[in-house]
Amino acid sequence: MSDTEPPEKKPKIICNLSNIYLDTIDQCIESISSSERNLQPIISDELTQPLEFINVFVGHIKNVKDISRTILILNDKIPLKELSHLKRVRRQDIILCPTKFLDNMSSIQDYIESHVTELRDVFDYFKEVNVPLLPPKVMKQYNEVRKIWSCNFHPNHYFEKLVSNHFFSVYDVKIHRKFMEVAFEIAKWYAIHDGVAFDINNILLTIVNVTVVVDPNFNRIVTIAYDYRHDHPMQHSAMLAIDNVAKTQNGGVWSTESNDGLLPGIDKELVHFLKQKFSQFIIGLKKTNWSGAKGGQKMDTDGEKGGPKSDSHEENKEKDGPYLCTGYYVYMLREPCVMCAMALVHARAKRVFFCFNNSVCGALNSVAKLQTISSLNHHFEVFTGFL
C-alpha cells in the first residue's frame, strides 16, 4: 500500500485545488445571481473625490451700499478668471485675490491701499478663506461648497446618475448579472474540460479571463472568448473576443476553429451547453441574424437618455450592419489589462462590465482609468460591483 501512495500525492493536490476552484466559481455564480444590488459605475475621481481648495484673501465690506461698486472695481482691477465658478461676494465678504498672489510681499491691506485706492476705506477687516479651486461637478460636492462660499452650479443629470446608487433599473441589473453568470459558466466549463493551471496563492486569480460580447438590443451573445495566453501571449480573452467580432463582420486574423461560423473558436459542446443553460439569450451572430428576433423586454441601452429606440432607427442600423463593437456590451471576469482595455477603446465597445479588479495591470480601475482620459477618441462606461 505504502508504495502506491507517493505517486498519487501530486494528482491529489491538483484534484483538491480544482475542486476548490469549481466550488469558488459556484459560490460566485450564487452570489452574482442572488444579489439585486445595483452595479457600480467606475468614474473619474473628479466626481467622487473631495474638492481641492485654494486660500484667498477676503475683505469684509463695512457698508452694504458699497457692495456692487466694489465688485465692479475689483473685477476690473483684480479679475479672477480661474475662480469664475465662485460668486465674488458672500453676504458682506468679498474675494480679493488668492493669497499666493501677494507672495508675502505685502499685507493685503497695504496692497489694496496702494493698488486699488478707490477701495481703501471700504473694508473694515480682512481674513483668509479656503475656497474650492474647481467648480463642483455633482450635488454632493456643491452642498459642501455652499457651506463655505456661494457658487455657480448647474446639476448634470447624467453625473448625478453616475454617483447615485441606482444607475440601472432593477430589470437591467438582473440582465447584467445574468450575462456575468454566462462568463463564470464559461470559466467553469473550461476548467472541467481543459483543466486550469492553478496559482496556489490566489485561486480566483487563477481564472485567467473570459470575455462575453453582447448586443443589448437583442439580448444576443455576439461572441465569447476564453483566455489563451498560456499558448499565445497576446491572446487575452478580450483580444480574442475582438477578433471573433471581426469574424462576424467578414474579417478577423487569428485562425480559430470554426463551428458553422456561429462562435468562432468555441467548442460546439460549449455552445450547446450555453444554449441550454441560457435559453433566454440568443447565442451567436451570423450576417443573416442582423434582423433577427428580439429577446423580450429590451435593456435601456441609452443610459440617461433612456427609452427604447424607434423601430425605423433600428432598421437603418441593420442595413449598414454592425461596425466593430459599436453598441456592444462587454462582460469580463477580471478587469482588462492595459492592452485589452485600450483594445476595447479601439473597438468602440459601449459598456464594459467586470467582476474582479486586476490590481497588477487593470486599466479601468486599478492602475489607470482609460475611460476618463479625455484625449482618447472613444469613451465607454465601466461597471463593477457584481459580488
Q: Give residues 226-245 in contact with other proteins (rule: CB under 8 A).
A: 232-234, 239, 242-243
Q: Among 15, 72, 376, 387, which residue interacts with other proteins (rule: CB under 8 A)? A: 376
Q: From other proteins, Zn ion, none, which one binds at residue 297 (CB under 5 to 8 Å depending on kind)?
A: none
Contacts of residue 34, defined as CB under 8 A and 6 or more positions apart, other chains included, come to none
How far apart, in Å, are the Cα atoms of 366 and each of 131, 345, 356, 358? 31, 17, 10, 6
Give the SS3 label for residue 333: strand
> Could you say whether residue 137 binds Zn ion (CB under 5 A)?
no
Helix (H) or strand (E) holding 25: helix 5-34
Provide CB contacts within 8 A for 155, sequence distance 6+. Answer: 138, 139, 142
Residues 299-338 that bind other proteins (CB under 8 A): 324, 337-338
Q: Is 337 in the site for Zn ion (CB under 5 A)?
A: yes
Q: Which does 253 bind (CB under 5 to 8 A by kind): Zn ion, other proteins, none?
A: other proteins
Q: Which is nearer to other proteins, 70 or 365 (CB)?
A: 365
Q: Binding of Zn ion at residue 364 (CB under 5 A)?
A: no
- Main-chain phi, psi angles of 127, to 5 degrees: -150, 175
| Sign of the four-CA dihedral 17, 189, 215, 36 | negative
Q: Which of other proteins, Zn ion, none lies near 37, with the C-beta cut-off 5 to 8 A by kind? A: none
Partner that binds at residue 368, options other proteins, Zn ion, none, CB closer than 5 to 8 Å by kind:
other proteins
Residue with cell 458672500: 90
In sequence order, the 6+-apart residues with CB closer than 8 A to the CB of 171 are 297, 299
CB of 375 to other proteins, least distance (A): 5
CB of 344 to Zn ion, least distance (A): 10
250 is a site residue for other proteins (CB under 8 A) = yes
Closest to other proteins by CB, 242 or 271? 242
CA distance 183 to 199: 20
DSSP assignment string, 109-138: HHHHHHH-GGGTTTEEEEEEEEEESS---S
Q: Between residues 142 and 228, which has the closer beta carbon with respect to Zn ion?
A: 228
Q: Is 334 in the site for Zn ion (CB under 5 A)?
A: no
- Tell which one of 195, 251, 261, 296 touches other proteins (CB under 8 A): 251
Could you tell me how many residues of this chain bind Zn ion (CB under 5 A)? 4
- Touching Zn ion, residues 144-203 (CB under 5 A): none
Q: Determine, following the binding rule CB under 8 A, whether residue 195 of this chain makes contact with other proteins.
A: no
CA distances from 241 to 244, 246, 251, 274, 345 (A): 5, 9, 13, 17, 13
Strand pairing category for 220-226 and 282-283? parallel
Q: Which residues bind Zn ion (CB under 5 A)?
A: 236, 337, 339-340
Q: Which residues bind other proteins (CB under 8 A)?
A: 232-234, 239, 242-243, 246, 249-253, 324, 337-339, 342-343, 345-348, 361, 363, 367-368, 370, 373, 375-377
